[in-house]
Amino acid sequence: MAAPVTPPPLDALREKIRRMEGRLGHRKAAAPLGLPEIDQKLPGGGLPLGALHEVAGGGDDAVNAAVAARFSAGLAALTGGQVLWIAKKADLFAPSLQQAGLPPTRVVFVEVESDADGLACFEEGLRHGGLSAVVAEVGRLTMTASRRLQLAAESGGALGIAIRRWPRLANGADFGQPTASSTRWRVSALPSAELPVQGVGQSRWLLELIRTRAGESGVFEVEAGDGPAGLRIAGAPPPSTHRIGMVAALGY
Amino acid sequence: MLALRPRQRIVSVWLPLWATDRLRRELGDAAPPSDVPLILAGRDGSRRVALAVDLAGRKIGLSVGMPIAKAQALFPGLVVMDARPDADREALERLALWLQQRVAPIVAVDGQDGLVLETTGTDHLHGGEAAMLRDVVHRLQGAGFTARAVVADTLGTAFAVARTTKGAVVVVDPGTCAEVLSDLPIGVLRLPPETVSGLTDLGLTRIRDLENAPRGPLALRFGDGLARRLDQAYGRVGEPIHPIRPVDPVMVSRNFAEPIAAAETIARYVGLLASPLCVELEKRGLGARRLDLMLHRVDSAMQVVRVTLARPVRDSKYLTRLLSERIETIEPGFGIERMELFAAQAEPIEQRQRVSALIEEPTADLSGLIDTLVNRLGSDALYRVVPLESDVPERSVQRVPPLAPVTEASRGPDQWPRPTRLLSKPEVVQAVAELPDQPPRFFIWRGIRRKVKCADGPERVFGEWWSQDTERTVVRDYFRVEDTNGERFWLYRAGDGEHGETGSQNWFIHGIFG
């Protein structure tokens, strides 16, 4: 067909909105997770940088946020620069972050006494511009606070990840409240695949993309390996053949 | 009046054996051994008397003021040396300047053997008051000085407690001066000796007695100095401290015809002071590492804002911004009549090339952000975590300052999976497992029973017998277990499951995997 290629109407509309918001020069980049199934649901084909994202643990993990922290570490590792990690309770075990792709040279930890301090540091870090990602473990996140953080992230260009962590399971209902974040994830542990021998298999997570601004939501079962993001759709064959399978499935 | 006084925290450091400790340090190896009594002799009129006695001397009954001839007759083995009060004083001033650079902006010499520091608003930089005092005392002890440090609301209380306490470090909680003082003897109120003996003759031996006695007759007999000292100790009247200054300080100041109080006005003058300070720093090729903003109030009280910097800086805009963030901590009271900006610690600025090769990525400079956060949260709140060569999980990591050089870890990520959360203290769980080396079938943690679906292990960790004797035989067997919900935990058994001396054989949870 010789018809001229016209940009899809959706892209033109997005361009128009961006022009109205006055952010034309600051086109947001995105960090692909390396999983086409997830990336195609995200605007720009990956996790938008210069935006706030929320990650919460599902079930009991709302209190410990261990799965959420590991997942967030993988996301932060994707950005390739210095990471600020803000927490109220210093129970993060650094060797695990290293396995997720964040070596000691890349993470500065901040221990804060209150959520208010944590949010102030979060904003300061996002605004600074020298960091590639800022991760903060926060409980309550109001609409106002999240909007401030989102604006700070837009001005600094860093990936902002708020790990929602509540002191009690009951407070987890807070995650239903609306915020200004670009994406919201809930990660919960799933039983791993049976191994033919004794032992524990690859950890398997239920990854719920609850909300995406300018994108779709979705539910994925993934297996987590080492390294940045290090995700794989659960049940898929190992990486080498997996890519071909994926490409075929998408009809390319 | 009482409510208007700003909250102050004053540290009194007492060095009871200053003169002898200093002499021993100065003489080094040539000093008499510490178990040989040492007294320093000076003249009192025509007599030679002991002006200072060291610890060994005090133990055998020598005291300050004793005639030298008498002491020598009683204890022939003692060493007598000449006292050098001028050198002692000079050394004490040097110590005061050292403390000023490291601990608090306002430091003054207090008598022959003491120092006072005003640490209002600076203790958070050192991890709290107790930690700050412990650090000061440890450093002094490390240099060979006996020292006691006390922090209280008033100089009088801190002074009195320092001279009576047995402990090396005491923190008198805010607002408890009156309770602490009431039981102390009147000798520690900084009164002239004749007043003390006169009061003792009257039967007034405790500060409480003095506080309860009618003021009029006492003032008539002993003068108003007595009432003033008492009020100063209780915090009813202020007591300014005149800080010591180095010979050629990097300092700029400004006097105001009319006292200023509004936050915006203070911020504007901070900016006006910062630029000449930076010009002064540039002339000397220095950058500020510690900056003190001193605000003299019209009621003679002083407010101090101290900021610390990760690297030497002489960018006036940046310094203004750091100081302005702390303006909310200032209580201007009736107004501020004089402002001083003082570079308490200045270091040469080292110029560095940011990128040395074209292919190198420029690394982001985080020192600005780190300064901002450190001044808000304290220096302990920011850190990097580096691995240490230890198999015991809680000892395998170490915190280092955020700008410390960190090399890539020697142990790569090819080791066993590690939990994302490590409990600060392992918690006991009830578990049922086959001995000696099987993972638990189920375990109960925080009241929830979890059935184990699969497990990896054991990973045996031996006690570090080279660091602690009690760990000679200790063993932990770590298992990574997954319960039926898919949640993963790091459990260990204290002991190898066979030998009692290797541990209690109880099960503990130590971490949670992501």
CB nearest to B382's CB, from A65, A94, A110: A110
The reply to whether B64 and B165 lie within a common domain is yes
Confidence class of residue B104 from pLDDT cuts 50, 70 and 90? confident
Closest CA of chain B from A131, distance in Å: 7
Element holding B47 (H helix, E strand) = strand B47-53
**What is the predicted pLDDT for the residue at A242?**
42
What percent of chain B clears pLDDT 90, i.e. is strictly above it? 18
Compute the radius of gyration of chain A from its Cα atoms.
19
Q: Which CATH architecture has domain A29-190+200-250?
A: 3-Layer(aba) Sandwich (3.40)
**What is the predicted pLDDT for the residue at A4?**
59
Question: β-pairing, B47-53 with B38-44?
Answer: antiparallel
CA distance B222 to B261: 40
**What is the predicted pLDDT for the residue at A156?**
87
Assess whether the previous peptide bond of B458 is cis (omega < 30° from 0).
yes
pLDDT in tens, A50-96: 899 999 988 777 778 899 999 999 999 988 889 999 998 888 998 88
- Residue among A119, A60, A109 at smallest CA distance from A89: A109
Tell me the whole-structure pTM to 2 decimals: 0.70
Tokens for B139, please give them: 């450093």
Answer yes or no: is pLDDT of B462 > 50: yes
Domain boundary pick from B325, B348, B371? B348
Q: Which residues sit opposite B468 in a β-bridge?
A: none
CB contacts under 8 A, A 219-238 vs B, are 224, 226
Domain boundary pick from B348, B380, B406? B348
**What is the predicted pLDDT for the residue at A170?**
79
Residue ranges of domains in chain A: 29-190+200-250
CA distance A182 to A154: 11
B479: in domain: yes
B312: in domain: yes
**What is the predicted pLDDT for the residue at B374?**
87
**What is the predicted pLDDT for the residue at A249?**
40
Q: Closest residue of A to B483, CA-based?
A: A191
CB nearest to A109's CB, from B383, B393, B406: B383
B362 backbone dihedrals φ, ψ, rounded to 5°: -65, 130
Closest CA of chain B from A125, distance in Å: 7
Can you tell me whether residue B24 is helix, strand or coil? helix
- Top-confidence residue, B175 or B248: B175
- Residues near A232 by Cβ (< 8 Å), separated by ≥ 6? A35, A202, A222, A223, A224, A225, A239, A242
CB contact under 8 A, A109 and B454: no
- Top-confidence residue, B410 or B9: B9
Q: Closest residue of B to A121, CA-based?
A: B373
What percent of chain B clears pLDDT 70, i.e. is strictly above it? 95
- Top-confidence residue, B7 or B211: B211
B385 backbone dihedrals φ, ψ, rounded to 5°: -115, 125
Domain boundary pick from B214, B244, B274? B244
Residue B45: how many other CB atoms lie within 10 Å: 6
Instruction: Tell me, letter by letter, the H, E, C secondary structure of B297-351.
Output: ECCCCEEEEEEEEEEEECCHHHHHHHHHCCHHHCCCCCCEEEEEEEEEEEEECCC
CB nearest to A124's CB, from B373, B386, B482: B373
The reply to whether B261 and B168 lie within a common domain is no
- Residue among B428, B458, B456 at smallest CA distance from B443: B428
Closest CA of chain A from B16, distance in Å: 38
**What is the arithmetic mean of pLDDT over B186-207?**
88
Answer yes or no: is pLDDT of A252 > 60: no
Confidence class of residue B255 from pLDDT cuts 50, 70 and 90? very high
Judged by average pLDDT, the poorest of A152-166, B92-106, B255-269 is B92-106
Is the CB of residue B429 less than 8 Å from the CB of residue B423?
A: no
Answer yes or no: is pLDDT of A234 > 80: no
**What is the predicted pLDDT for the residue at B355?**
58
**What is the arithmetic mean of pLDDT over A148-161?**
91
pLDDT in tens, B481-495: 999 988 899 999 998
Task: Collect all residues of chain A within an 8 Å Cβ-Cβ radius of residue B413.
Answer: 95, 98-99, 226
Is the CB of residue A162 less than 8 Å from the CB of residue A181?
A: yes
CB contact under 8 A, A109 and B384: yes
CA distance A158 to B464: 42
Q: Closest residue of A to B456, CA-based?
A: A199
The reply to whether B218 and B270 lie within a common domain is no
How many Cβ pairs closer than 8 A exist between chain A and B?
Answer: 163
Task: Collect all residues of chain A within an 8 Å Cβ-Cβ radius of residue B455.
Answer: 198-200
**What is the arithmetic mean of pLDDT over B413-442?**
86
The reply to whether B334 and B446 lie within a common domain is no
Task: Collect all residues of chain B within an 8 Å Cβ-Cβ radius of residue A121.
Answer: 373, 376-377
Judged by average pLDDT, the poorest of A26-40, B197-211, B328-342, B481-495 is A26-40
Task: Collect all residues of chain B within an 8 Å Cβ-Cβ radius of residue A221.
Answer: none
CA distance B65 to B304: 41
Answer yes or no: is pLDDT of B410 > 60: no
The reply to whether B273 and B225 lie within a common domain is no
Residue B61: how many other CB atoms lie within 10 Å: 12
Instruction: Compute the mean pLDDT over every residue in chain B, rounded to the nearest whole number.
Output: 86
CB-based contact (8 Å) between A148 and chain B? no
- Top-confidence residue, A17 or B254: B254
Tokens for B155, please give them: 């100089």
Which of B414, B512, B513 is best to mutate for the A interface (most A CBs within 10 A)? B512
**What is the arithmetic mean of pLDDT over B198-207?**
88
B140 backbone dihedrals φ, ψ, rounded to 5°: -70, -40
CB contacts under 8 A, A 46-105 vs B, are 59-61, 64-71, 73, 81-82, 84, 90-100, 103-105
CB contact under 8 A, A200 and B397: no
**What is the predicted pLDDT for the residue at A23?**
59
**What is the predicted pLDDT for the residue at B58?**
86
Confidence class of residue A135 from pLDDT cuts 50, 70 and 90? very high
The reply to whether B211 and B256 lie within a common domain is no
Task: Collect all residues of chain A within an 8 Å Cβ-Cβ radius of residue B422.
Answer: 91-93
**What is the predicted pLDDT for the residue at A55?**
93
Closest CA of chain B from A38, distance in Å: 20
Number of domains in chain B: 3
- Residue among A103, A67, A95, A232 at smallest CA distance from B415: A95
pLDDT in tens, B34-47: 888 888 988 888 88
The reply to whether B46 and B128 lie within a common domain is yes
CB-based contact (8 Å) between A245 and chain B? no
CB contact under 8 A, A110 and B415: no
B506: in domain: yes
Judged by average pLDDT, the poorest of B35-39, B153-157, B408-412, B487-491 is B408-412
Answer yes or no: is pLDDT of A245 > 50: no
The reply to whether B60 and B203 lie within a common domain is yes
The CA angle A16-A22-A26, to the nearest 5 degrees, is 95
Closest CA of chain B from A42, distance in Å: 24
The reply to whether B269 and B334 lie within a common domain is yes
B452: in domain: yes
Closest CA of chain B from A211, distance in Å: 22
CB contacts under 8 A, A 162-221 vs B, are 188-192, 195, 198-201, 203-204
Task: Collect all residues of chain B within an 8 Å Cβ-Cβ radius of residue A92.
Answer: 420-422
Task: Collect all residues of chain A within an 8 Å Cβ-Cβ radius of residue B365.
Answer: 130
B415: in domain: no
Q: Closest residue of A to B402, CA-based?
A: A108
Task: Collect all residues of chain A within an 8 Å Cβ-Cβ radius of residue B407.
Answer: 105
Does the ipTM surpass 0.90? Answer: no
**What is the predicted pLDDT for the residue at B440?**
92
CB-based contact (8 Å) between A126 and chain B? no
CB contact under 8 A, A92 and B420: yes
Q: What is the DSSP letter of A177?
A: S
Confidence class of residue B480 from pLDDT cuts 50, 70 and 90? very high
Q: Closest residue of A to B439, CA-based?
A: A199
- Top-confidence residue, A14 or B56: B56
Task: Collect all residues of chain B within an 8 Å Cβ-Cβ radius of residue A96.
Answer: 417-420, 513-514
pLDDT in tens, A21-47: 655 444 558 888 888 888 888 888 888
B257: in domain: yes
The reply to whether B270 and B187 lie within a common domain is no
The reply to whether B224 and B257 lie within a common domain is no
Q: Closest residue of A to B421, CA-based?
A: A92
Q: Which residues sit opposite A137 in a β-bridge?
A: A163
CB contact under 8 A, B413 and A191: no
CB nearest to B413's CB, from A61, A98, A107: A98
- Top-confidence residue, A136 or B498: A136
What is the residue range of B338's domain?
251-348
